[in-house]
């Protein structure tokens, strides 16, 4: 075995350049000690080993400075934890591959048994003289037409949604009679029901989901005729129940689309609905009465009818995608911009700029006169009147195609079914694609304002709740996702970042601690928990007031110091909460107080909460087509691509129903 001679060892531990003499002596002493320790082998045999300065220094520190060694080990461990902590991320909710409600084959054999019968005369027991009904001969039973046709059910099954199959069986167990058949043929009530089902598309549904063919009874008699009429009876009831289910709750379960949807699914009472239809004077009206009856749904229905009656692409003007035109520049698209404004601008706008429009000769120069024309059009359409022709201005100029409008209206009608039938007379309605929040109450002028909603990576959820509290000079309780995704990387570089930036850190027990004292990796990995909140003040992310409707998404309405964002047309910039353009006015509205009252409470400078009286629902919704304050339907860009995902869900539903 090759080994270093003592001189080699001595050479290896000469004082290095720039090393203090004392350090050199310490290293040589540690090296010699380490060499002597490690060179002792089995039975005292010397095993010479090469020893580095680092090994020697480490051993020396462990032997003669254990506290220093322990601190270095802790520091190394903390550095490792820091690196691990900044890699942890809290994922946003995701979109799912939609799993639709599926039809199942259901046997109707258990309905074939006659479980009730009218008896003409009871039999008499010869031994006792007592009347008995323990055994009845066929002559003593009076069968209804439905009972006579029951044997056909023994081998009959239907394809139906589980809720429909359950409702159908429950209904006929309680009401063992024909609804749609009389004297062996379909009744006028059956024809009314078929008309309702055939008109399903008028309400944004797919009429092919409810198709039932009239029975062909020509030449049929006896058991064959019974089987045909019974099959029609069961199929029509199943179709009507499916229609009611779709009309009241929608064809799609929104919570299966994505984690951003949080809407309880309605549970229609199908048996009660059928009982109402049976007793109704007009079955078609009774069935269609299960569609939403709200004013907004009726406006959408009327819009759908008008759109379908129009020519699909009449005189549509196209501005090339990607066009971006600033004042003073030139573009071959200038003529299309002017043509679009001439087509879609108001009469007042065209009258105001008549001289400019008359003088224009298809030039490419974006002149001051044309800039003024564009600014007027932008202002008229609620856009930033900056004269820049970008995607939002182009969308307003060319409009939405008729086909796209029809799709948006149909999707809006589907989404309407996810909400309560009655939204409430006094309410706050937030429409994310419109970037607006509107408060309405009987006898009061509506209050509508611009809002900022979540950016695409931090989307605002679709849900509804009830407003409970207004908080003045609020704290901002930092959500866990922001702590992990945004604050911990900063804390890794500067452990005292939160202490210096106006935040309070508390343990689960409520004890205030320094941000530098927290094991943030444990927080990121959810091994421990802390609360972080920002103190009230001018720099507070929530501004001067917030309006709470406690929910598991930690979403609420609030003020913001970032006022400039409200000037933008596309306002998806928050972490998910709703920033209000005029928060004092909204707080005053829900409290039933004046705006001055709210300003006074804020001016006191103290964090305080005030309970909101009454029952005020808030709808944090998502509609790319929705009625405005005048009842006209406005159309909006699909900021989160949710239309696309809903269309996929409807397509999956169509496929599943086959």
pLDDT in tens, 419-459: 999 999 999 999 999 999 999 999 999 999 999 999 999 99
Give Cβ neighbours of residue 316 (< 8 Å, ≥ 6 apart).
Answer: 398, 399, 401
Handedness of CA 303, 647, 237, 228 (dihedral sign): positive
Contact 48, 70 (CB under 8 A): no
pLDDT digits (tens, 9 = 90+) for 108-154: 999 998 865 444 445 445 444 544 444 445 555 678 999 999 999 99
Contact 625, 633 (CB under 8 A): yes
Which of 88-92, 190-194, 342-346 has the lowest average pLDDT? 88-92
Q: Which of 463, 389, 392, 465 shows the shortest CA–CA distance to 424?
A: 465
Give the whole-angstrom CA distance, residue 305 versus residue 318: 25
Return the H-helix or E-strand segment holding 546.
strand 545-548
Percent with pLDDT over 90 in the chain = 67
Per-residue pLDDT band at 321 (split at 50, 70, 90): confident
* The predicted structure's pLDDT at residue 550: 93
Give the whole-angstrom CA distance, residue 179 versus residue 608: 62
Contact 50, 35 (CB under 8 A): no
Give the whole-angstrom CA distance, residue 639 versus residue 219: 60
Return the H-helix or E-strand segment holding 146.
helix 145-149
pLDDT digits (tens, 9 = 90+) for 46-77: 544 455 555 555 555 555 666 766 677 666 66
Give Cβ neighbours of residue 606 (< 8 Å, ≥ 6 apart).
Answer: 472, 473
Residue 133: strand, helix, or coil: coil
* The predicted structure's pLDDT at residue 16: 44
Give the whole-angstrom CA distance, residue 3 versus residue 606: 78
Return the H-helix or E-strand segment holding 482.
helix 480-482
Angle between helix axes 368-380 and 334-344 (nearest 10 degrees) is 40
Per-residue pLDDT band at 9 (split at 50, 70, 90): very low
Per-residue pLDDT band at 43 (split at 50, 70, 90): very low
* CATH number of the structural domain 420-478+485-502+533-654: 2.40.440.10
* The predicted structure's pLDDT at residue 2: 43
**Residue 519 φ/ψ region, left for φ over 0, alpha for ψ in the -120 to 50 degree band, beta for the rest:** beta
Residues 253-257: contacts with CB under 8 Å, at least 24 apart: 253/101, 254/415, 254/418, 254/462, 256/96, 256/98, 256/99, 256/649, 257/95, 257/96, 257/98, 257/642, 257/645, 257/646, 257/649
Tokens 């003529």 map to which residue? 335
pTM for this structure? 0.79
Q: Is 66 exposed, middle or buried (0-12, 13-18, 19+ CB in 10 A)?
A: exposed
As a residue count, the chain comes to: 658
Residues 62-65: contacts with CB under 8 Å, at least 24 apart: 63/33
List b or e across 493-532, with b for residues whose CB sees 16 or more CB atoms inside 10 angstroms.
eebebbbeeebbbeeeeeeeeebeebebbebbeeeeebeb
Is pLDDT of 283 > 80?
yes
Residue ranges, CATH 2.40.440.10, the chain? 420-478+485-502+533-654
* The predicted structure's pLDDT at residue 119: 40
Give the whole-angstrom CA distance, residue 305 versus residue 294: 17
Per-residue pLDDT band at 322 (split at 50, 70, 90): confident
pLDDT digits (tens, 9 = 90+) for 505-541: 999 888 999 999 988 888 888 877 899 999 998 889 9
Give Cβ neighbours of residue 246 (< 8 Å, ≥ 6 apart).
Answer: 205, 209, 417
* The predicted structure's pLDDT at residue 118: 42
């Amino acid at each position: 075995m090759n080994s270093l001679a003592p001189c080699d060892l001595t050479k290896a531990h000469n004082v290095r350049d720039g090393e203090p003499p004392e350090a050199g002596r310490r290293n040589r002493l540690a090296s010699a000690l380490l060499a002597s320790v490690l060179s002792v082998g089995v039975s005292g045999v010397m095993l010479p080993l090469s020893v580095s300065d680092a090994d020697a220094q480490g051993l020396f520190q462990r032997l003669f400075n254990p506290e220093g060694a322990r601190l270095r080990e802790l520091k190394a461990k903390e550095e490792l934890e820091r690196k691990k902590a900044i890699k942890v991320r809290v994922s946003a909710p995701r979109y799912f591959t939609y799993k639709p409600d599926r039809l199942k084959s259901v046997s109707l054999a258990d309905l074939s048994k006659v479980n009730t019968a009218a008896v003409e005369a009871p039999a008499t027991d010869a031994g006792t003289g007592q009347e008995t009904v323990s055994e009845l001969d066929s002559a003593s039973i009076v069968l209804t037409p439905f009972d006579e046709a029951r044997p056909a059910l023994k081998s009959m099954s239907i394809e139906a949604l589980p809720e429909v199959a359950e409702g159908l069986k429950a209904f006929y167990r309680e009401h063992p009679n024909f609804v749609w058949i009389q004297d062996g043929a379909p009744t006028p009530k059956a024809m009314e029901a078929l008309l309702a089902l055939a008109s399903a598309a008028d309400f944004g549904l797919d009429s092919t989901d409810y198709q039932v063919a009239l029975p062909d009874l020509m030449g049929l008699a006896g058991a064959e005729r019974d089987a045909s009429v019974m099959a029609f009876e069961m199929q029509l009831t199943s179709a009507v129940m499916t229609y009611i289910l779709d009309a009241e709750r929608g064809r799609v379960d929104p919570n299966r689309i994505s984690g951003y949807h949080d809407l309880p699914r309605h549970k229609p009472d199908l048996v009660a609905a059928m009982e109402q239809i049976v007793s109704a004077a007009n079955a078609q009206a009774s069935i269609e009465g299960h569609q939403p009856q709200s004013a907004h749904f009726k406006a959408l229905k009327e819009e759908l009818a008008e759109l379908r009656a129009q020519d699909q692409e009449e005189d549509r003007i196209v501005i090339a995608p990607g066009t971006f035109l600033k004042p003073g520049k030139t573009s071959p698209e200038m003529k299309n911009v002017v043509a679009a404004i001439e087509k879609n601008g108001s009469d007042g706008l065209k009258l105001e700029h008549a001289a400019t429009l008359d003088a224009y000769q298809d030039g490419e120069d974006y002149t001051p006169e044309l800039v003024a024309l564009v600014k007027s059009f932008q202002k008229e359409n609620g856009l930033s009147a900056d004269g820049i022709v970008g995607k939002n201005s182009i969308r307003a100029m060319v409009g939405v195609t008729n086909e796209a409008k029809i799709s948006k209206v149909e999707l809006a009608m589907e989404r309407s079914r996810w909400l309560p039938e009655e939204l409430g007379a006094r309410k706050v309605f937030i429409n994310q694609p419109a970037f607006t929040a509107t408060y309405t109450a009987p006898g009061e002028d509506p209050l509508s304002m611009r809002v900022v909603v979540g950016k695409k990576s931090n989307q605002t959820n679709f849900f509804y709740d009830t407003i409970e509290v207004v908080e003045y000079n609020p704290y901002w309780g930092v959500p866990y996702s922001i702590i992990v995704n945004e604050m911990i990387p900063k804390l890794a570089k500067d452990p005292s970042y939160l202490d210096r930036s106006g935040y309070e850190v508390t343990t689960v027990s409520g004890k205030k601690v320094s941000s530098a004292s927290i094991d943030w990796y444990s927080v990121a990995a959810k091994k421990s928990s802390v609360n972080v909140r920002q103190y009230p003040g001018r720099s507070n992310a929530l501004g001067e007031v917030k309006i709470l409707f406690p929910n598991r998404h930690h979403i609420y309405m609030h003020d913001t110091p970032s006022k400039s964002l409200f000037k933008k047309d596309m306002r998806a910039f928050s972490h998910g909460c709703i920033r209000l353009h005029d928060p004092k006015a909204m707080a005053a509205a829900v409290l039933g107080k004046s705006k001055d009252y709210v300003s006074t409470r804020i001016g006191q400078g103290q964090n305080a909460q005030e309970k909101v009286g009454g029952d005020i629902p808030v709808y944090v919704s998502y509609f790319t087509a929705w009625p405005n304050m005048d009842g006209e339907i406005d159309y909006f860009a699909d900021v989160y691509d949710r239309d696309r995902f809903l269309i996929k869900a409807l397509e999956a539903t169509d496929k599943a129903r086959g």
